[in-house]
Structure 1
Amino acid sequence: MIRHNWKKQHALILTGSFLIPVILMGAYFAYRQMAPFGPSSLLTVDLGQQYVDFFAYLRNIILHHPGSLFYSFSKGLGGEMLGTNAYYLFSPLNLILIFFPGKWLTSGVMALTLLRYGLAGMAFAWLLLKTRLQSGFRIWAFSTAYALNGWMIANQLNMIWLDALVILPLIIWGLLRLIHDGHPGTYIAWLAVMMIDNYYMAWMICLFTILVVCWQLPTLADWRTRLKTTGVYLASSIASAGIAAVTLLPTIYALTTSKGTYTETIISSKLEYQPLKMLGKLVPGSFDFNQMPSGQPNIYIGMLLMIGAALYFFNVHIKWSQRLVAGLVTIFFILSFCYEPLDLLWHAGQFPVWYPYRFSFIFAFWCILLAARVLQPSYQLQWPGALAILIISGLVFWVTGQLKLAYLSTSQRLIGLGFVVVSLAALMIARRNSPRLYDFLIVLIVACDVGTSAFTSLNKISYVSQAEFGKYTQQLDQASQQLKHHDSGFYRVAKTFMRTKDDPMQGDFYSADHFGSTLEPPIPAFMGAIGQPAGDGFVSYDNGTQVSDALLGFKYTMTARHHGIEDGEQIMPLSGYRPDWARLKKVNQTRMITSRESPAALPIAFGASSEIFQLGKATLDPLGYQSQIFQALAGRPINQPLFIVQNFTSVSFNNVQAAHQITGTTFKKQNLLKPATIKLKFTPPTNDSYYLTLGPEVKDSASISLNRRDFSQYDTYRDTVVINLAHHQKGKPVTITFRLKKTSAWLQNVSVYRLNQRAFNASLSTLQQSPLKIQKTTPTSIKGTVHIHRGQSALMTTIPAAAGWHVRIDGHRVQPRTVISIFMALPITSGTHRVEFYYRPPFLILGVIVTVVSLGLTWYITKRQR
C-alpha cells in the first residue's frame, strides 16, 4: 500500500512537471495567436528560414524516399546527408511531424516545441526524485525553472538543440549512479542516445560530465575508489561513443569535408567583452533580437533559485572540498562565457555564427542542481543572510542600469528586484507551519518569475505569419507535384522566387539552392565563381544564364505569376529575373507559379572532351569562366568566348561626376542633399540574351532598376553576380539606373555582355550527342547507358565529387576524377557503355561494426556486474 502511494505520488509529480511548462507556454502561444491558435506562427530566424524545410524533408524521407537519409540532390547541387541529418534531424521526437503535412507543419512545430518544454521539466523532476535531492510537489519549482530557463526561451527557435535539455538530466542521473552505485548502464545508454540525437550538443554535455565527476569525487571514500570510479567513467564514455559509432564515424568524416574546415587555427587569449555585462542576464526578460547574433549567455533561472545556487557555497552542511570544487566549476563556466579559448573549447573549435554561448543551458542546469541541494524543506534563511543578498542584488540591478543594456528596461529591473524581495521573504518563512501551502508558494513564485521572463523575452521577437508560410508552401508543393506527374525522371528545377534557400527540401525537388552548416565548401566556391549568390553555408541559384542552365541540367523552370502578388499581398517573394525563360515551352501552371521546360538542359552525365581534365581554376569573371567550362567540354578553344562585351548606347549622370569608364569607377554625390543617379542605356542589336555583371560592393551603396522597375535580385552575395537583362528584344532600348544610397558608390565589375547564341548552340549540340540515358535512379544511385562519340573521351557529370561516390562502367570499377574543383568526371572510350553510380557514406560500414561490437561488450560487462 505504501509502495503504491509512493508510485502514485511520483506519477503525479512527473505529470505536473510536464504540464506546468506546457500550460504556461501554451497559454503564451495562444495569446500571441500562433498556429494553430491564430494567424501567426512560431517560425522566426533559422526556424523559419531553415529548420522547417528540413522537417519537411524528413517527412519525405520517411514517407517517400528513405535513400535521402544518406544523400540528396536537394542539398545544393547534391551532397551527403547523414552528417547533415545527425545535426538537424536525428531527434526521435521529430517523428511527430509526420502527422503535419505542408502548410500544417507550423502546427507540428508548435506541438513539438511544447512537448520539449514538458519533457525537459519532467526529466529534471525525474533526476530530483531519483537522487532524492527534493521530494513532493515542491519539485515543480525546480523543474519549471529548468524547462523555462533563459537559454530555452532564447533558443526555442533552435529546435535541433532542445533535446539536450531533455536528455541532460538523464545523463547526469546515470553518471551519479555510476559514481555512487557502480552501475554504468544508465549513463552509457543515455550518453549514446545524446550522441546520436545531436553530436554537437553531446560534445558540450561530455565536457560537463568531466566537471561533474570532479565535483563528486570528494564525496568518495578514498583515492583508490576515486581512481577506479574515474576509470569506469572513462571506459563508459568510450562505450557510449562506440555504440553511437554508426552515426558518429560517418558524421565526423562528413564534418572534415564541410563544417570542420572552418575550425579556428589561431586562438587569441582575450576577453570577448566586458564581463560585467553578464550581470544583465540576471534580470528577467534579458533577451531581444539583437542578442541572437551577439550577446551574453542566457542563464536566467528565476531569483529564488539563483539565490539558492549562491547559498550552496555558504552551506556548512556540505563538505568544504565539494563546495571548493563546485566553486571552481562555477568560475570555469563564468570564464567560458567571456574568455575566447574556453568559449572555443565548448563550441568544438568554431565560433558560433549567431546564438553565442550555446552551452549556457548547462550552467542553468548546474545552478538549479546546486539550489536543489541547498533549498531543502527544512532550510530557513536568517535575516543577516537575507539582508546581505538584498544589498548585493540592489547593487547588481544598479550596475545593470549603468551599463545601459538595450534589452533591459527600468521596469524589468524593478520587477527583478521585486522577485528578489519576494524570494527572500519566502526563504525566511518556516515551512513547518504549513508545509503544503509553503511548497505551493515556492512553486508559484518560481513559475511567475520564469514565466514573466519568458513572456517578456519572446514579446521582443517577430515571427513569420501562418499565411506567409502556408500560401507559399502550398503553391510550391503543388507546382512540384505537377512536375513529378509530368516527368518521373531525374531533373533539376530553377526558379526566380524564394522563401528560403531550402525550398527544394520543402517542395521535394532537385535544384541548386541550400542553406545549412554542413554545406561542402567547393559548392559555394563554384557557384560564386559562375555568378551566383553564395556564402560559407549557403548557395542560391538566382542568376543563371543559358550556359549555366544547360550545364547544370535545369530541365524545368518556375516563375511567379502576377509578379508574385495576389490581392495586393506578395505571396511569392521574387529573387531573380529571367526574361530568357519567357519563350520556353509551358508545361504546368498553378494559381501563382508557371513551370516551363528547357530543351537545352544537359543530363546529369554526358560525353565530353577530355580537355575538361586540364581546365584550370576559376577566373574572376563569372561569364568568362562559364564560357571556358562549356567550350572545354565541347572540345572547342576556350579562348573563343561565348559572351561578348556590349557597349552602352548612352550614359547620363545626375548629381555625380561624369566618367568615360563606368566599371570600376567610384561615383560621389556632388550635392549631398539631393538624389544621385547613373543611367546606362543600350539597344540590343540582336535577339540574343544580354547579361549584366555586378560586383558585391554595388548592392550596399546603390539600388538598381531596369526600365524604371525595381530589379528583383537576392541581395546577399560575396562574388560578382550575373543578371539577365534582355532576351529577344532586338531594337528595344534597355535602361539600367543606379541610385546612390550613400554619398558614394563603387560600380564594381559593372559590364554588359551578349551571349553568342550561334556559338552556344553549336557547343550545346556537340554535348547533347552523348547523353546518359537513365534507366533507374534513386537518391543514392543512378544507372543508365551512354553512347560516346568520337572526340569525346570523358564522361562529365554535374554530381559534386565526394569520397562516397563509386562508379562502375561495364561492370568494372572506375576511379572518378574531380574537374573544375567540384564535379566528378571519368575517362571513357567511344562506344556504348553501361554506367552505374552509387553512393555509400564513408565509414558507415565501419561504424555499424563498431556499434554492434560496442553493444555486445557493454551488454556482457554490465550483465556480469549484476
Structure 2
Amino acid sequence: MLTTIRSHQRSFILGISFLLPILLMGSYFAYRQMAPFGPSSLLTVDLGQQYVDFFAYLRASLLHHPSSFFYSFAKGLGGEMWGTDAYYLLSPLNLLLIFFPGRFLTSGIMLILLLRYGLAGLSFAWLLDKTGWQKGPRIWAFSTAYALNGWMIANQLNMLWLDALVILPLIIWGLLKLFYRRQAGTYIFWLAVMMVDNYYMAWMVCLFTLLLVCWLMPEARTWRARGRFILRYGLSSLAAAGVAAVTLFPTIYALMQSKGTYTEQTIYSRFEYFPFKMLAKLVPGSFNFDQMPSGQPNIYIGMLLMMAAFLYFFNRQVKLSRRLAALGVTFFFICSFCYEPLDLLWHAGQFPVWYPYRFSFLFCCWCIILAAQTLRPAFRPCYWQLAPLLLVTGAIFAYVSQLKLSYLSSSQRWIGLGFAAISLLCLAIPRKDSPRLYDLLLVCLVICDVATSAFTSLNNLAYVSQDEFAQYTTQLDQAAKKLRQGDKGLYRVAKTFTRTKDDPFQGDFNSGDHFGSTLEPAIPNFMGAIGQPAGDGFVTYANGTQVTDALFGFKYTLAKQNLATPTLPLSGYRPDWRQLPTTAKTGNVVIRRNPNSLPFAFGASSEILQLPHTTLDPVSYQSQIMQALAGRPINKSLFQVQNFDSVQFNNVQTSRQITGTLFKKQDFLKPASIRLTFIPPTNDSYYLTLGPSVKDDASISINNKAFAQSSNYRDNVVINLAHQQKGQPVTITFRLKKMNVWLQNVSVYRLKQRSFNASLQTLKQSPLKISHHSSNSITGTVDLKRQQRVLMTTIPAARGWHAIVDGRPAATKTVLGTFMAIPLAPGHHQVKLYYRPPFLILGVFTSLLTISGTWLVLRYQVRRRTRGRTGTDKPSTD
C-alpha cells in the first residue's frame, strides 16, 4: 500500500513537472495571440524563413514520396537530403506535423514546441527524482528553471536543437549508472538517440559528458577504478556512435562536401570580448534581436538557483576534491564563452552564423545540477557563506548598472535586483520552522523568476503574422498542385515572387532555390557564375535568362497576375515571360509553360567536358556553356553588347564610360542619380549585368518604376530589362543612397534570338525520354546523334549518383565543376540513374552489428551480476 502511494505521488510530481512549462508558455503564446490562438504566429527569423519550409518538405515526403528523404530536386538544382534530414528533421516529435497541412503548419509547430518545453521539464524532474538530488514538489522549481532557461527561450525558434534538452538528463542518468553501477545500457541507448536526433547537438553533449567524467572522478576510490571507468565510458561512447552509424556515416560524408568545407583553418588564441560583459546575462530578460547575430551566452536560470550553484563551492557537505573538480568544469565553461579556441571546439571548428554559444544550454544544466545538490532540504548556509554571495551579487549589479546595453532596461535591472534580494532572504530563512511553506516559497520564487525572464525576452522579438504566412502558402500550394495535376513529369519551376528561399520545399516542387546549412559549395559557386544571387548556404533562381531557363529545365513559370497584391512579394523581373503560353491560373498566380525547356538529361557534344571557366561575365559564361553543348564555336557569343542611346548625370560628375566608374555626389545635400536610356532595335530579350557593389550604394528603377531584385548576392547578376519592346525607350536609373557609387560591371546585352534558337534545336534532337522517375532515380531512353557523345544532365554531380547504361554500370564525369555527364557512343541507349547516400549501406551494417554485439555484451553482464548475487563471492567495489 505504501509503495502504491509513493508511486502515485511520484507520478503526480512528474506530471506537474511536464505541465508547468506547457501552461506557462502556452499562456504566453495565447496572450501574444499566436496561431491557433490569434492572428500572429511563432514564425520569426530562421523558423519563419527556413525551418517551416523544411517541416513542409518532411510532411510531403512522409505522405507522398519517401524517396525524397535521400535526395530532392527541390534543394537548389538538386541535392542529398540524408545529411540535411539528420541536421534538421529527425526528431520523432516532427511526425506530428502530418496532421497539420499547409496554412495550419504553424499550429503544429506550436504544439511541438510546447511538448518540448514540457518534456524538458519532465526529463529533468525524472533525473532529480532518480538520483535523489531533490524530492517532492521542490523538484518543480528545478525542472521549470531547466525547461525555461535562457538558452531555451533565446533558441525556441531553432526547433531542431531543442530535443537536446529532453535527452540530456537521460544521458546524464545513463552516465551515472555507468559510473556507480557499471551498467552501460542506458547511457549507450540515449547517447545513440541523441546522435540520430541531431548530430550537431550530440557533439556538444559528448563534450559535456567528458566534463562530467572529470567531475565524477574524485568519487572513484583508486586509480585502477578510475581507469576502468574511463575504459567503460570510452567503449560505451563508441558503441553509441556505432548504433547511430546509419545516420552518422552518410552525414559525415555529406558534411565533408558541404558545411565541413567552411571549417576554420587558422585558430587564434584570443578573447572574443571582455569576459565581464557576460555578467549582464545574469539579469532576467537579457535578450533581444541584436543578440541573435552576435552576443553573449544566454545562461539565465533564476537568481536563487544561480546563487545556490555558487554556494556549491562552499558546501562542506561535498568533498573538497569534488568541489575542486566542479570548479574546474565551471571555469572551463566560462572560458569557452569568451576564448576563441574553446568556442570553436564546442562548435566543431566553425564559428556559428548567428546564434553564438549554442552550447550554453549545457552550462544551464550544469548550474542547475549544482544548485540541486546544494539546496537540499537540510541545507542552511552559514553567514560566512552568505557574505561573499552578497558581495558578489552587489558587485555584479553595480557593474551591470554602468553598462549601456540594448537588451537591458533600467526596469529589468531593478526586477533582477528584487529577485536577487528575495533569493538571499530565502537562503537565510531556516526551513525547519515551516517546511511546506518554505518549499512553496522556493517553487514560486524560481518559477516567477524564470517566467518573467522568458516573457521579457520574447517580448523583444517580432513575429510573422499568421495571415502573411497562410495566404502566401495557400496560393503557392494551389499553384503547385495545379502543376502536378496537369504534368506529372520531371521538370523545374521558376517564379517571380518569394517568401523564402525554401519555397520549393513549402510548395513541393522542383526549382533552383534553397537556403540551408548543408548546401554543397559547388552549387552557389555555379549559380553565382551564371548571374544568380547566391552565397554561402543559399541560392535563388531569380535572374534567369532564356538560355538558363532552357538549359536547366525550367518548364513552367509562376508570376503574379495583380502586381498590387501584397500577399505574394515580388523577387524578380522577367518581361520575357509575358509572351509564354498560359496554361492555368489559380487565385493571383498565372502559370505559363516554357516550350524551350530541355529535359534533365539530353545529348550533347563532348566539347562540354573540356570547357574552362575563364570569364567573370555571366552572360558570356552562359553563352559558352550552351555553344559547347551544341558543338558550336564558343567564341561566337549568343549575346551582343547594346550601347546606351543617352545618359543623364544629376549631381555627379560626367563620364564617357559608365561601367567601372566611381560616381560621387557634387552637392552632398542634394539627391544624385545616373539615368541610362537605350532604345531596343529589335524584339529580342535584353539583359542588364550588375556588380555586387552597386546594391549597397544605389537604388535601381526601370522606366521610373522600382522593380524587385534580391539584395543579397556576391557575384555579377543578370536582370531582364526588355522583351518584344522594339523602339520603346528603356531607362535605367541609379539613385545614390550614399556619397558615391561604383557602377561595377554595368552593361546591357541583347540575346541574339536566331543564334539561340539554332543552338537550342540542336540540343533538342536527343532528349532523354523519361519512362519513370522518383526523387532519387530516373529511367529512360535516349538516341544520341553522330556528333553527340555525351549524355549531359543538369543534376549536380555527387558520389551517390550511379548510372546504368544498357544494363551495365557506366562511368560519370563532372562538367562545369557542377553537373553529372555520361560519355556515350552515338545510338540508342537504355539509361537508369539512381542515387544512394554514400556510406549508407556501411552505416546500416555497422549499426546492426553494434546493436547485436552490445546486446550480447550487456546480456552477459546481467547474467554475470545475477550469478554474483546468488554466489558466495561479493561484488567488487571498484
Using the size of structure 1 for normalisation, the TM-score is 0.99
Alignment of 1:134-283 (within 5 A): 134-283=134-283
What is the rounded CA distance, in whole Å, between the counterparts of 2:96 and 2:615 in structure 1?
48
Number of the residue aligned with 1:378: 378
Q: Which amino acid in the other structure matches residue 145 of structure 1?
A: A
The 1:642–1:188 alpha-carbon spacing in structure 2 relative to 1, beyond 3 Å, is: same
What is the rounded CA distance, in whole Å, between the counterparts of 2:703 and 2:692 in structure 1?
22
1:602 and 2:598 matched? yes
Deviations 1:90-126 (A, max 9, x none): 0001111111110000011111111000000000000
Q: Which amino acid in the other structure matches residue 211 of structure 1?
A: L
What is the rounded CA distance, in whole Å, between the counterparts of 1:583 and 1:295 in structure 2?
51
What is the rounded CA distance, in whole Å, between the counterparts of 2:352 and 2:560 in structure 1?
36
What is the rounded CA distance, in whole Å, between the counterparts of 2:202 and 2:246 in structure 1?
15
Number of the residue aligned with 2:827: 831
What is the rounded CA distance, in whole Å, between the counterparts of 2:117 and 2:726 in structure 1?
62
Alignment of 1:465-864 (within 5 A): 465-563=465-563, 565-566=564-565, 570-617=566-613, 619-864=615-860
Number of the residue aligned with 1:53: 53
Deviations 1:606-630 (A, max 9, x none): 0000000110125200000000000
Using the size of structure 2 for normalisation, the TM-score is 0.98
Equivalent position SS for 1:628: helix
Deviations 1:384-427 (A, max 9, x none): 43343223212101111222222111111111111011111112
Superposed displacement of residue 228, structure 1: 0.8
Deviations 1:339-396 (A, max 9, x none): 0000000000000000000000000000000000000011123344334322321210
What is the rounded CA distance, in whole Å, between the counterparts of 1:536 and 1:101 in structure 2?
31
Superposed displacement of residue 236, structure 1: 0.3
What is the rounded CA distance, in whole Å, between the counterparts of 2:557 and 2:70 in structure 1?
27
What is the rounded CA distance, in whole Å, between the counterparts of 1:524 and 1:418 in structure 2?
52
Deviations 1:9-57 (A, max 9, x none): 1111111111111111111111111000111000000000000000000
Q: Which amino acid in the other structure matches residue 75 of structure 2?
A: K
What is the rounded CA distance, in whole Å, between the counterparts of 2:99 and 2:437 in structure 1?
42
Number of the residue aligned with 2:430: 430
Number of the residue aligned with 2:861: 865
Number of the residue aligned with 1:70: 70
How many residues are matched? 862
Number of the residue aligned with 1:337: 337
Superposed displacement of residue 638, structure 1: 0.2
What is the rounded CA distance, in whole Å, between the counterparts of 1:262 and 1:388 in structure 2?
45
Deviations 1:644-689 (A, max 9, x none): 0000010001000001000000110100100001000001000000
In 2, are the aligned partners of 1:390 and 1:421 still within 8 Å (CA)?
no
Q: Is there any run of 5+ residues in structure 1 with no aligned partner, and where?
A: none
Equivalent position SS for 1:287: coil
What is the rounded CA distance, in whole Å, between the counterparts of 1:754 and 1:612 in structure 2?
24
What is the rounded CA distance, in whole Å, between the counterparts of 1:853 and 1:444 in structure 2?
50
Alignment of 1:17-32 (within 5 A): 17-32=17-32
Moved more, 514-523 or 380-389: 380-389
Number of the residue aligned with 2:389: 389
Equivalent position SS for 1:764: helix
In 2, are the aligned partners of 1:553 and 1:604 still within 8 Å (CA)?
yes
Superposed displacement of residue 519, structure 1: 0.1
Superposed displacement of residue 591, structure 1: 1.3
What is the rounded CA distance, in whole Å, between the counterparts of 2:792 and 2:386 in structure 1?
76
Number of the residue aligned with 2:81: 81
Q: Which amino acid in the other structure matches residue 465 of structure 1?
A: S
What is the rounded CA distance, in whole Å, between the counterparts of 1:438 and 1:94 in structure 2?
40
In 2, are the aligned partners of 1:653 and 1:678 still within 8 Å (CA)?
yes
Equivalent position SS for 2:519: coil
Equivalent position SS for 1:249: helix
What is the rounded CA distance, in whole Å, between the counterparts of 1:343 and 1:389 in structure 2?
28
In 1, are the aligned partners of 2:311 and 2:385 still within 8 Å (CA)?
no
Number of the residue aligned with 1:33: 33
What is the rounded CA distance, in whole Å, between the counterparts of 1:640 and 1:35 in structure 2?
57
What is the rounded CA distance, in whole Å, between the counterparts of 1:558 and 1:526 in structure 2?
24
Equivalent position SS for 2:297: coil
Equivalent position SS for 1:353: coil
Q: Which amino acid in the other structure matches residue 460 of structure 2?
A: K
In 2, are the aligned partners of 1:390 and 1:420 still within 8 Å (CA)?
no
What is the rounded CA distance, in whole Å, between the counterparts of 1:735 and 1:149 in structure 2?
56
In 1, are the aligned partners of 2:295 and 2:356 still within 8 Å (CA)?
yes
Q: Which amino acid in the other structure matches residue 171 of structure 2?
A: I
Equivalent position SS for 1:432: coil
Q: Which amino acid in the other structure matches residue 6 of structure 2?
A: W
What is the rounded CA distance, in whole Å, between the counterparts of 1:734 and 1:756 in structure 2?
18
Q: Is there any run of 5+ residues in structure 2 with no aligned partner, and where?
A: 863-878
Equivalent position SS for 1:494: strand
Superposed displacement of residue 328, structure 1: 0.5
Deviations 1:118-143 (A, max 9, x none): 00000000000010000000000000
Equivalent position SS for 1:775: strand
Equivalent position SS for 2:145: helix
Number of the residue aligned with 2:122: 122
What is the rounded CA distance, in whole Å, between the counterparts of 1:219 and 1:386 in structure 2?
27
Moved over 4 A (4+): none
Q: Which amino acid in the other structure matches residue 616 of structure 2?
A: L
Moved more, 128-137 or 221-230: 221-230
